Every structure is written in structure tokens, then in C-alpha cells.
Amino acid sequence: MISRRHLLLLGGAAALPWPGRAQANDKPRHALIIGNAAYSEGIGTLANPVRDARLVAEGIQACGFSLVTGDIVTDAGRSEMMSAFRAYVDAMQASGPEATGFVYYSGHGAAREGEGNFLIPVEDADMLDEALWDDSISLDWVMGKLTDCEAPTVLSIDACRNVLKLPEAERALGGGESFRGLRRSAGSAEERNMFISFATWEGETASDGRADDGNGPYAKALGTRLLEPAVTVRDMFENVRLDVLEMTLQRQEPMNLSRLQRRSSDIRIGSWSRAPGDAPMSPVSQNPLRVALVFSNDYAGSDAYALPNTHADGEKVSTALGESGYKVRHIRNADLGGFRDGLTMLRNALNAAGPASVGVVYFAGYGASLFGEDNYLIPNGPLPRDENEVIERGAKLREAVEFLEDSAAQAVVVMVDCGRKYDSPLETKGLEPGFADYTSDANVVIAYADKPGTTRPDATGPSVFADAFASRIQSPDRIDINKVMLQVSGDVIAATGNQQQPWFQTSVRLPIFFRADLDEGLSP
């Protein structure tokens, strides 16, 4: 019997078209498209893989590729699948280094601990038992064959359509656990000159779509993007990732890994019949789903109370968010009007992107708390010296949050980096007790660099909070906002000897993820 930890479903990926109009039409382009759906009841039948394979095949042929098997391969057993892979490798090797290749697999897949990832044939594998692994095809074997080719290949795995359940897993699943997801460690370090795309992130499942949908969301996005004017392979699959996020309300995120050699890294993908100026055919929004707004105020005219490091703090956060897939606007020294204009711009961007969008706001500067409940962010300019000036010049935090809550976004993250003292007769952010606790109940994460009622020991130096946040969201693995903030809190407490403790609260229902872009050459 296979232990519970031995089955993780293979996360599935993408198809890859290569050349666009910019590439010479006489260069060989080969594709292999496989769609497996008619599995036994013991494995679990699927609705859309064959239709997905046909959709992707139509797109890749519009990009100038020919199918090495003459047509798509459907509902194939082990021997038929291995024969098709060999036919593809033979065609690529015969064409030499000038060729480009594309492989798309749609169907079931699984990852076995310590033994890599497997593509599951139809016919031969009919039960979820030990024989499943003997009857399936190792993805490591496939990647090893592709490595034998001098030319680059795009390998797209659109698997993990639902959760396969071994007898042991069924009992565990009853308790709320699930066994799914491709392992990133597929393949060896020697395997190069491939671009690998999976329909969902490791450890998660990809939607097969409803039977009446006709296609899964990943295949639908990929098939559409293949018919657009040519762009680089990285850009095309980044667009596919964003399209799938939007179509699934951020429940499914494709994972792309580039192992292309430098000479292959500028390959472009797209329809030969489409020019760069042609109107887009994509059925999904072209607006960025992740939008961030960074404010940094240095109050340069405030003499001893100027904050010389806030712009550098804002730039750190902006860069890290940009590398996590956010479209970022950094506004320096915003007065009250500039602050409100920035929030309006952000809300408009979130509304344009729709219900799959996520917004982030980071504010570095001074703040004030009145009556232990009303918190104000202090725009750039003369620092207020009494209660009336705070109310007149400040931006009330609650109103800013409620303004963004009213957008179409599924979530908004607001980070207040304001725990800095300045002399005033008020109980301001610069004097005890600091910002007051604040709770939102409408899909908002609110984080303070300093917990309510406290201020930091160093008012003018670089922000330890900004450093920790920028570092933590640039993880090579996907990391959700709750884990980010817990790690940031631990980092700040350790760095300041427990003199500064961040605080956050969340009412967000869906997980909000961050991660660093995966650089070319990174092993899966």
C-alpha cells in the first residue's frame, strides 16, 4: 500500500507556442499534443482534456507548428504515449538546433515522494494502487529525452484536474487533508533549454472546468493567447497566469519555470496572422490584477523632525512588490490632495481589474491618534501641532480604508509604517500611546509597523519593518499574507531586541499570496 505522504497530485501546466512573425518561416517547429480524459472510474474520468488539447493544437498550429503525430493524441495508453514522445524527440533531433518545440499534456498526473512526477495514461492505469506507478510515465524520463535535443522545448503540463485518492488518502481526506500538486523538484540539474509551465502552483489542484464549459481555464487562456501577436515566451505565459487568476477569482495560479539557455531566451510566441497593432482577442481583462500604491514622506522642511530614510524605505517596498507581480506607483512627499488622488487612482485600477484584483498600500511617514480611536496619516508639509491641525491636515485612516473597501477588489492590504516620535502637545503617533487598534470587517488586512500604543526606538533611521517586509515577500515559494506578517513581526522583534513589535489584523477570506519572480535557469 502507498502511504498517505506518497501521493501528491501533479499540478498542471501550459502549452507553448514558439515563433511569431519575427521568426523565419522556414525554421522547423514541432509540437506534440496529448489529451487524456477517458480514465476508468477507479482513476476518475475527466470532462475537458481532449477538448483542451484540440484548442491548444489549433493555437499552436496558428503559430506555425506542425504536429509530429499528424493529429492530437487522445486517451492514450502507456505505450502509445511513449511512442508519441519518441516521435517528437526524433523530429526535434533530426531538425537540429534551429528547431523549436512545444509539448502539451492534458490529463491526470501525480507526484510520488522521492520518485518524481508521473503522467497517467488511460487504459493501462485503472486503479489507485501500487501498480499505478508502474503503469504511468515518469516526467523525469520525458524531460531527460527533451534534454537530448539541441533545440529548446516548451513543456506545458495541464494536469492535477482533481484530487486522486488512494485508499489511505481517502481516509485522510475525510479528515480535511488533500493530496495534490506537482513537486517543483521534477527533473535534474542537467536538464536545460526548456520552458516549463504548469496549470497550477505546486501542492494545489487545477480546475477541469464544467463539462458545459468546453475547456478548463488554463487551456482557455492559453488557446486565446496563442492567437495574439507574438511576444516573448515569458510574457505570453505571464499573461496566461494573469488570465487564469482572473477567470478563477485567484483560486488557481499557474506556475512558470524557465530553464532556457541565453541563446533561446528571446523566443517569441504568437500567431503569424496577427500584427502587433491588431486589437486583442483575449476574452479577459488586460488590466493588472495586482496593484500597489506606496507613499513616502520625508517632511524635509521640518528641520530636526525630517525623516531622511522614508524614500529609501518606500523604494525597497516598491521594488519588492514589483518583483512579486504588482504594478506599483511610488508617490513621494504627497500632500493631502496628492494622497487622496493616489487612493482614487488605486481604486479606479482595482475597479477596472474586477473582483480578482488585490490592492496594497504602504505609507511611510508620521501619523497621529486622537482620543484613542481616530488614527490619522500626516501628509507632507508642516507637522500639525494641535488637535485641530491634525483633523484639518491629516488623512483619517478609517476613511481611507473604507474608500478602498468600496472597490471591486477581493482584498486590500494597508500597511502603516508611522511609529515615529515628534514633539507635540497631542497624544500623536510620536507620543504615547501611539496608533489606536483598528478593525475592518470587509476583506482588508491592516498592518502597523508598531503595535497599538507604542512607538519605535529609532525615529529617523531606516525602517526595520520595511526591510523585513521587502525581504519576506521575495520568497522563491508562494507565501500568503498571514505568514508574511508573522515572519515580519518575528524579524522586527529580533532586530530591535523586542523594542518594536508589529501588529496586524485581517478580515480577508481568500488567501493573498506573494512570491519573487522565478529567474531564468532556476531549477524546478
pLDDT in tens, 41-50: 777 788 889 9
Closest by CA position to 78, among listed 129, 34, 116: 34
Closest by CA position to 366, among listed 397, 341, 344, 398: 397
Q: What is the pLDDT of residue 455?
A: 83
Residue 410 identity (one-letter amino acid): Q
Residue 111 identity (one-letter amino acid): A
Do residues 294 and 198 share a domain?
no
**Interacting residues of 345 by C-beta distance below 8 A, sequence separation 6+:** 293, 329
| 282 in a structural domain | no
Q: What is the pLDDT of residue 295?
A: 98
Q: In whole angstroms, give the CA distance from residue 325 to residue 413.
A: 15
Do residues 199 and 120 share a domain?
yes
Do residues 256 and 371 share a domain?
no
| Grid cell for residue 401 | 480604508
Q: Tell me, what CATH number does 345's domain have?
A: 3.40.50.1460
Question: CA angle 194-197-198, nearest 5°?
Answer: 140
Do residues 316 and 419 share a domain?
yes
Strand-strand pairing, 29-35 and 100-106:
parallel
| 285 in a structural domain | no
Q: In whole angstroms, give the CA distance from residue 138 to residue 156.
A: 15
Do residues 15 and 144 share a domain?
yes
Q: In whole angstroms, give the CA distance from residue 12 to residue 182.
A: 7
Residue carrying C-alpha cell 485508499? 167
Q: What is the pLDDT of residue 460?
A: 86
Q: In whole angstroms, give the CA distance from residue 199 to residue 214.
A: 17
CB atoms within 10 A of CB 124: 18
Do residues 308 and 384 share a domain?
yes
Using H for helix, E for strand and C for coil, what is the string for 137-167? EEHHHHHHHHHCCCCCEEEEEECCCCCCCCH
Tell whether the torsion through CA atoms of 417, 506, 353 and 220 is positive or negative: positive
Q: In whole angstroms, give the CA distance from residue 15 to residue 475.
A: 26
CB-based burial of residue 455 (10 Å sphere; 0-12 exposed, 13-18 middle, 19+ buried)? buried
Q: What is the pLDDT of residue 318?
A: 97
| Grid cell for residue 419 | 511609529
Print the domain residue range for 14.
4-269
Instruction: Work out how many domains the chain is built from and give that number.
Output: 2
pTM for the predicted model, two decimal places: 0.61
CB atoms within 10 A of CB 429: 28
| 158 in a structural domain | yes
| 284 in a structural domain | no
Do residues 345 and 447 share a domain?
yes
CB 121 within 8 A of CB 36: yes
Q: Which residues of 231-240 are buried (b: 16+ CB within 10 A; e: fewer)?
A: bebbebbbbb
CB atoms within 10 A of CB 162: 14
| Grid cell for residue 423 | 514633539
Query: pLDDT of 396-449, one tens digit each?
Result: 999 999 999 999 888 899 999 998 776 665 555 544 446 666 666 678 999 999
229 upstream amide cis, omega within 30 of 0: no
CB 197 within 8 A of CB 240: yes
Residue carrying C-alpha cell 485518492? 165
- Per the DSSP assignment, residues forming a β-bridge with 117 are 111
Q: In whole angstroms, give the CA distance from residue 49 to residue 207.
A: 11
| 260 in a structural domain | yes
Residue 469 identity (one-letter amino acid): F
CB 50 within 8 A of CB 35: yes
Do residues 299 and 194 share a domain?
no
Distances (CA, A) of 64 to 88, 423, 496: 16, 69, 59
Residue 375 identity (one-letter amino acid): N
Strand-strand pairing, 100-106 and 153-158:
parallel
| 281 in a structural domain | no
| 275 in a structural domain | no
Domain termination residue (choose one: 269, 304, 330): 269
Do residues 98 and 218 share a domain?
yes
Q: In whole angstroms, give the CA distance from residue 103 to residue 112.
A: 22
Do residues 167 and 120 share a domain?
yes
Do residues 167 and 247 share a domain?
yes
CB-based burial of residue 419 (10 Å sphere; 0-12 exposed, 13-18 middle, 19+ buried)? buried
Q: What is the pLDDT of residue 279?
A: 55
| 122 in a structural domain | yes
Q: In whole angstroms, give the CA distance from residue 5 to residue 209.
A: 27
Domain termination residue (choose one: 269, 304, 326): 269
Q: Please give the chain's pLDDT, 524 residues, in tens.
A: 333 233 333 333 333 333 334 344 568 999 999 999 998 877 778 888 999 999 999 999 999 999 999 999 999 999 999 999 999 999 999 999 989 999 999 998 877 766 678 898 998 666 666 677 788 898 889 988 998 899 999 999 998 644 444 444 333 222 222 334 444 444 444 457 889 998 887 656 665 555 456 788 899 999 999 998 888 888 889 889 888 887 877 678 888 888 887 667 668 888 866 555 555 555 445 677 789 999 999 999 888 899 999 999 999 999 999 988 899 999 999 999 999 999 999 999 998 887 778 899 999 999 988 876 788 999 999 998 888 888 999 999 999 999 999 998 888 999 999 987 766 655 555 444 466 666 666 789 999 999 988 888 788 899 999 999 999 998 777 788 899 999 999 999 999 999 999 999 988 876 777 876 544 333 22
Q: In whole angstroms, give the CA distance from residue 16 to residue 257.
A: 12
| Cα atoms found within 13 Å of the Cα of residue 129, Cβ hemisphere only | 5
Do residues 201 and 153 share a domain?
yes
